Every structure is written in C-alpha cells, then in structure tokens.
Amino acid sequence: MVQDLGYLKESPSQTAGPYVHIGCTPNFAGITGVYEADLGATMVNDRALGERITVRGRVIDGAGVPLKDALVEIWQADAAGFYNSPSELRGTADPNFTGWGRCPTGADDGIFTFETIKPGRAPYKDGRKMAPHITVWIVARGINIGLHTRMYFADEAEANAEDPLLARIEHRQRVATLVAPREGSVYTFDIHLQGEKETVFLDI
C-alpha cells in the first residue's frame, strides 16, 4: 500500500443541449428582463487599443450543414499580447478589451460574428513567440464535451511558420483548417466538425 494521492476526478461533461441559449444568452433566446445584456456580447469599447477586426464563421456538421443551435466562445490576448486575466503576470492587459466573447450561431444562417481586435503575440513556455491567434471553444447539442481549437490569421504567414502549435500538426495539409482568410477587416473561420476538412481540435 502507498499513500492516496487524494486527487478528485473532474466532473464529467454533458452536452450543452438545444436550450443552451436560455442559460448563456437569455436575451438572444427572448428571455428579457432577467439580465441587462448577454454576457460576452461586447468585447471592446471605443478606447480599446489595436486593429479592429471582425471574425465570422460557421460550425458545420458531417453532412455539410451549418449548426444553428451552437454556442461559440473566444478568448484571446490584447493588441500587446497580454491576457485580461489574474493569471497574466507579465503585465497589465488593456482595460478596454475583455479578451472574451460569446456568440450563438444564427438561428437562420448558422453564422457567428465577433467584433474584436487583432491580438498580439504571446510567448510559448520556452520563450518563443506564438503567432497571433484566438482560442475558440464550441458547444452544442450533440457535442458531448466542448471542443477547443484555435484561429490563426492568414496575413501572418511569417509568424504562423514559426508557431509551436502549428508546427505540431503532423498532416501539414490540415494546418489550413486553423488559418482564417482575410477580406478587408473580416476574417472568416469555418469550423468543420467532421470529414475531409475536419478542423484540428485540441486536447490542451
């Protein structure tokens, strides 16, 4: 016999279900008067530093159909590469940028949209810089445990080429699933749950 490590087990995940909007975006679900605004609907105010961008995309199932009942959350560094989090000890993040956003996919078109800023580069644990990226988390009916992935920027080819996470992707043709093309100030990031174009999801 040895001593018991005494660790607990993480609570098992369960699907967010079809009614996730009631709990996470009640105003979007038509339940008004309980919360003033849906959490995560606004990430920036007028004084936020950095380049304003729009991130837009869909979550697409194995039959090629966009999910109309998914919820997408993003988390990212500010323009200088700092996170608006107590665990950010390298410096102080821009107080005018939350870094976190939440958006349901549209009930008609399945599109999610975030008005945000382009993030700066944050260090990997060995000191190398990661390419600018946005962390993405997807939940929906039929998804048993939230899916983590990342969006990188197509106009950051040089930084992407030296990114430690992208470098870990064995099948190089799959790197493109994480790189969003740019048109004007809009980046398009379609997330494919299955199939030939399946997005690289992370166990992180």
Partner 1 sequence: MSDLSNNKPETGAFFQRDRAWHAPALTPGYKTSVLRSPQKALLSLDGTMSEITGPVFGHSLLGELDNDLIHNFAKPGESAIGERIIVHGRVLDERGHPVSGALLEFWQANAGGRYRHKKESYLAALDPNFGGCGRTITGEDGTYRFRTIRPGAYPWPNGVNDWRPAHIHFSIFGHGFAQRLITQMYFEGDPMIWKCPIVTTIPDRSAIEQLIAPLDWANTIPMDARAYKFDIVLRGRRSTLFENRMEGN
Only segment of 15-23, 46-54, 109-117, 182-190 that touches partner 1 (CB under 8 A): 15-23
Interaction between residue 22 and partner 1 (CB under 8 A): yes
Phi-psi label, residue 121: left if phi above 0, alpha if psi -120 to 50, beta otherwise: beta
Residues 6+ apart with CB under 8 A from 98: 40, 42, 43, 44, 84
**142 part of the interface to partner 1, by CB under 8 A:** yes
Instruction: Give the closest residue to 139 by CA, choosing from 18, 1, 46, 9.
Output: 18
* 77 interacts with partner 1 by CB under 8 A: yes
Residue 3 touches partner 1, criterion: CB under 8 A: no
Q: Is residue 18 a contact residue for partner 1 (CB under 8 A)?
A: yes
Phi, psi at residue 85, to the nearest 5°?
A: -150, 145
Beta bridge partners of 4: none
> x/- contact string, 29-48, with partner 1 (CB under 8 A)?
xxx-xxxx--x---------
Please identify which residue in 2, 11, 108, 173 interacts with partner 1, judged by CB under 8 A.
11
How many chain residues bind partner 1 (CB under 8 A)?
84
Q: Under rule CB under 8 A, which residues in 80-139 are in contact with partner 1?
A: 83-89, 98-100, 107, 122-128, 130, 133, 135, 137, 139
From 18-26, 48-56, 108-116, 153-161, give the range in contact with partner 1 by CB under 8 A.
Answer: 18-26
DSSP state of 173: G
Q: Which of 88, 84, 87, 80 is nearest to 97 (CA)?
A: 84
